[in-house]
Structures are given as C-alpha cells and as structure tokens.
C-alpha cells in the first residue's frame, strides 16, 4: 500500500490556489499526517512564476515545464488546474506515466476526448477525480441523505440555476474562455457542467435534453487593444429541459452574464412528500418542506448545517458558523486521498465526468437541431 501521496500541481491561478489551500486544510481538518500528503512539485508557464508560487503554496520543487512534472518519479498524483483545452494532453501524459490524475472540470472539451481520457485511465489502472466540488459540501451531502432515505418521497422535479456575472460587463476583454478551441462551450461547459453533475447525483441519470443556447455579447475588445474585437464563439446563456431516468422532469439554466449573481448556484427539488431548496451563496443552509408536517405550522424549515451533518465537524464544532468554498475543496481532497491511499470509492471520477461531457454535447446538438435529443449512458467503450 502506498504510504504517502506526492502531489504535482499544474497551474496556480484561481483553481490552482484553491487546490493548494485544500491540501493544507484537508490535512488539518481530517487529521491526515503531513508525511502522507506531500506538496511535492508545482508547474507553471515559466520557471520564475513556478518558483514564486511554490514558495507561496509550500511546494518543495518547481518547474516551468509541466511535462517534467508529469515524468518526475517522485510525483504520484498529477493535479491539473490549467485551462480546459490542456486537460486532455496533460491527463493522457500523466496516465501514460502511471500517475493518478485529479483534473479540474470540465474534464474535456467534448465527449469523445473525455471517453479517450477515461479509457486510458481505466486501462492503466490509475485513480481519477474531477473537481465537481459543489456536491462535496456537507449541506449537499445531507440533502443527498434526505433524498436517499425518502424524506421528500420520490423526486419528480429538479429546477437548477447556475448564474454568475463574471462576463456581464460587455467591455470585458476577449479571452480563452470565449473560444471553442480553448474552452469548448461557454456557460454550458463552465457552469452548467456542475449543475448537470449535481442533478444526476441527487435525482437520477439524465436520459434526454432539449436546449437553447445564446451568445448575447458577440464581440469583445481584445486585451491590450480595445479598438480591435474578438468574436465570441460560445454561449453566454444556456437553457435546457431534461428528463431523468426515474421519470422526473427538470429545467437547468446557466449564465455568465447575470448581473448580481456571484456564485449563484441554486436548486429546488420537488418530491412526492416534500421539497428541498439550496442556494450556494448561503452554502451552509438547506430549506426543507415536509408534506407530513402539521398543516398549521407547516412551512419551509431553514436547517443550519452543524456537527450532526456529514463532514462539518472536521472544520468546526459549532453549528451554524458556516463553511466556505475552500472548505468543500478540502472535502474533495480528503476523498481523493482516501480513494488513492486507502482504496476507497472515488467519485466523481473520469467516468462520471464523461457522462457530463456526453450530456453537454447533446445539449449543443439539441440547440442546433431545435429538438429533443436522447442521451446515451456511458458504457466505457471508446468508439
């Protein structure tokens, strides 16, 4: 059995920093000894930046060449926090070198690439994990428990929204996120991917989709030369109706231009015996309505998550104090560690993330054909 897990982190931007924080937090919160989860090596676009970030994040070594990190004999796990278009090349190289892989979402630009990555990982027998972090929140772990034990009956409807305003200002410059070659789809790949993964986890597999996508701001000024513009190639807004395998219906929407929404992931699940409501902007609260309650005092109950709920106590012994985004990343890292070092089930892995990519491709197809499209359930065969 592997006694320690040595991390090689690629990319130190928004998510790279969140992962670096999560390794430290996971050790402190979950009692993982520091000699069992080691921040071994870090890669960035150039050596100076890599060295600077290694000092800040507490990694032992740094390189300006991610391929050197992947090949390094002292790296057990390659953690990919680079832009979407690099995930495939980096993951395939890591898998070929026999490394476990932790990739940020979306796993790939499209389902074909995701299948290739999954097949490679499964053939090599390495473990994989994908950063669909929101489902690691103790609040949503508890929501899943409530649903699984039947407290709200059989889910019949899922209404999910993931709106942010990071591109709401039309004068914000053109970037890799707006080009299909580098990002794939837009709000769909970036935001709705989380929502799709979450809906599958909480309700059931998605079996068909009917979608509408829109690029609202078609041109953006080029960074460094605002007189010139770049053509936006992917959706600012994504809407879809979905059908679930258990017969439930759903509506999912995502926007990157929704003024005022900062981490606006929210959902409402209606069951035959009650409802659940969640808003990521108040991530340690869950609202529960139970049809069986006394009609006179019936209403949505506001549950503040505390030590009685999954994983909360690792961070705080007092209820209602609330966790944050970086805490749920630490839960993700704890699962990663347990999955690799103690061979526990690891989810969502590349296979689960491939199912998300399959659905996102079907959303694009549905929009193009103006029609409902059936969704295949991934069987692991790469065609």
Residues that bind ligand NAD (CB under 6 A): 10-16, 43-45, 66, 81-84, 86, 104-105, 131, 133, 190
* Comparison of 104 and 327: residue with beta carbon closer to ligand NAD: 104
* Comparison of 189 and 270: residue with beta carbon closer to ligand NAD: 189
Minimum Å distance from CB 166 to ligand NAD? 10
Minimum Å distance from CB 85 to ligand NAD? 9
* Comparison of 88 and 243: residue with beta carbon closer to ligand NAD: 88
* Comparison of 280 and 284: residue with beta carbon closer to ligand NAD: 280
Burial label, 330 (beta-carbon count in 10 A; 0-12, 13-18, 19+) = buried
Minimum Å distance from CB 181 to ligand NAD? 14
In DSSP terms, 140 is beta-bridged to: none
What order do you get walking across the sheet with 373-374 strand by strand? 301-304, 285-290, 274-279, 264-271, 155-163, 249-255, 237-244, 206-214, 373-374
Minimum Å distance from CB 363 to ligand NAD? 17
Minimum Å distance from CB 151 to ligand NAD? 28
* Comparison of 143 and 195: residue with beta carbon closer to ligand NAD: 195
Q: Give the chain's end-to-end CA distance (angstroms, integer).
A: 34
Residue 7, token pair as written in the block = 């991390």
Minimum Å distance from CB 370 to ligand NAD? 28
Cα–Cα distances in angstroms (integers) from residue 269 to residues 57, 80, 235, 242, 366, in the given order:
39, 32, 26, 14, 24
Minimum Å distance from CB 12 to ligand NAD? 5
By beta carbon distance, the residue nearest ligand NAD is 13
* Comparison of 104 and 235: residue with beta carbon closer to ligand NAD: 104
Q: Rounded to an integer, what distance in angstroms lies between the CA atom of residue 289 and that of residue 275?
A: 5
* Comparison of 187 and 204: residue with beta carbon closer to ligand NAD: 187
Other beta carbons within 10 angstroms of residue 260's beta carbon come to: 9
Minimum Å distance from CB 83 to ligand NAD? 6
* Comparison of 64 and 205: residue with beta carbon closer to ligand NAD: 64
Minimum Å distance from CB 69 to ligand NAD? 9
138 closest CA partner among 351, 274, 310: 310
* Comparison of 102 and 142: residue with beta carbon closer to ligand NAD: 102
């Amino acid at each position: 059995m592997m006694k320690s897990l040595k991390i090689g982190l690629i990319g130190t931007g928004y998510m790279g920093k969140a992962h670096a924080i999560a390794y430290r937090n996971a050790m402190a919160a979950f009692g993982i000894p520091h000699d069992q989860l080691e921040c071994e090596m870090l890669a960035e676009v150039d050596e100076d930046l890599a060295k600077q970030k290694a000092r800040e994040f507490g990694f032992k070594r740094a390189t300006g060449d991610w391929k050197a990190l992947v090949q390094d004999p002292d790296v057990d796990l390659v953690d990919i926090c680079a832009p979407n278009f690099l995930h495939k090349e980096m993951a395939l190289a890591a898998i070929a070198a026999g490394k476990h892989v932790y990739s940020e979402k979306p796993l790939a630009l499209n389902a074909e690439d995701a299948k290739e990555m999954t097949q490679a990982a499964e053939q090599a027998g390495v473990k994989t994990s994908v950063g669909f972090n929101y489902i690691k929140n103790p609040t949503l772990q508890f929501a899943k428990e409530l649903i699984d034990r039947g407290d709200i009956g059989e889910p019949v409807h899922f209404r999910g929204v993931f709106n942010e305003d990071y591109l709401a200002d039309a004068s914000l410059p053109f970037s890799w996120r707006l080009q299909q070659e580098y990002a794939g789809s837009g709000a769909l790949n970036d935001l709705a991917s989380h929502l799709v993964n979450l809906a599958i986890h909480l309700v059931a597999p998605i079996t068909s989709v009917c979608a509408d996508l829109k690029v609202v701001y078609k041109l953006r000024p080029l960074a460094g030369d605002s007189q010139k513009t770049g053509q936006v190639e992917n959706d600012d807004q994504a809407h879809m109706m979905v059908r679930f395998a258990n017969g439930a219906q759903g509506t999912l929407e995502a926007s990157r231009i929704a003024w005022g929404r900062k981490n606006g992931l929210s959902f409402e699940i209606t069951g035959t015996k009650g409802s659940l409501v969640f808003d990521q902007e108040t991530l340690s609260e869950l609202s529960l309505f139970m049809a069986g309650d006394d009609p006179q005092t019936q209403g949505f109950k506001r549950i503040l998550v505390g030590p009685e709920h999954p994983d909360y106590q690792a961070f705080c012994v007092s209820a209602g104090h609330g966790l944050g985004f970086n805490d749920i990343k630490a839960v993700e890292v704890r699962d990663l560690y347990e999955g690799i070092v103690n061979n526990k089930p690891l989810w969502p892995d590349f296979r689960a993330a491939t199912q998300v990519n399959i659905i996102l491709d079907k959303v694009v197809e549905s929009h193009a054909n103006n029609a409902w499209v059936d969704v295949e359930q991934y069987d692991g065969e790469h065609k």
